[in-house]
Amino acid sequence: MPSSALNVEYFYNLLCREVVLHGTKLSSVCFRVIAISSCLRSYPYSIALRYLQRKAIMLDPNWQKGNYYNTGKFPRTGTKLAR
C-alpha cells in the first residue's frame, strides 16, 4: 500500500455494521477497517454521553485542536472529566 493512499476516517457513534459498510463502499481508498468500541445497537443515552465526553476534551484549553503531541501540553483536565 503506498503511503499516499493512506486515508483515515473517523466514524463516531456508528453501528459496527455501518462501519463495515463504509469500508466496503470506500474500498478503493480504504484497505482496512478497525471498529473500536462498537456495538450492534446504539442507544440515545450512550450517544449523548459520548458526545459530552468528546466535548469535555475539546473544551480543554490544552486540546489545541488535537495537535498537542509535540507541545508537551495534553488535555488532562478534559480527559479526567470525560472519564
Same domain, 66 and 49: yes
User: Which of 26, 41, 56 delimits the end of a domain?
Assistant: 41
User: Could you give the CA distance from residue 67 to residue 55 in angstroms, rounded to a whole number?
Assistant: 16
Domain that holds residue 24: 1-41
Contacts of 24 (CB under 8 A, 6+ apart): none
CATH code of the domain in which 53 resides: 1.10.1740.110
State the pLDDT confidence band at 15, using cuts at 50, 70 and 90: low
Of 59, 66, 62, the closest CA to residue 82 belongs to 59
- pTM over 0.75? The answer is no
Same domain, 1 and 17: yes
User: Could you give the CA distance from residue 34 to residue 37 in angstroms, rounded to a whole number?
Assistant: 10
Same domain, 78 and 60: yes
Sign of dihedral through CA atoms 42, 34, 83, 76? negative
Same domain, 37 and 67: no
Same domain, 8 and 36: yes
80 vs 31: which has the higher pLDDT: 80
Q: What total number of domains does the chain contain?
A: 2
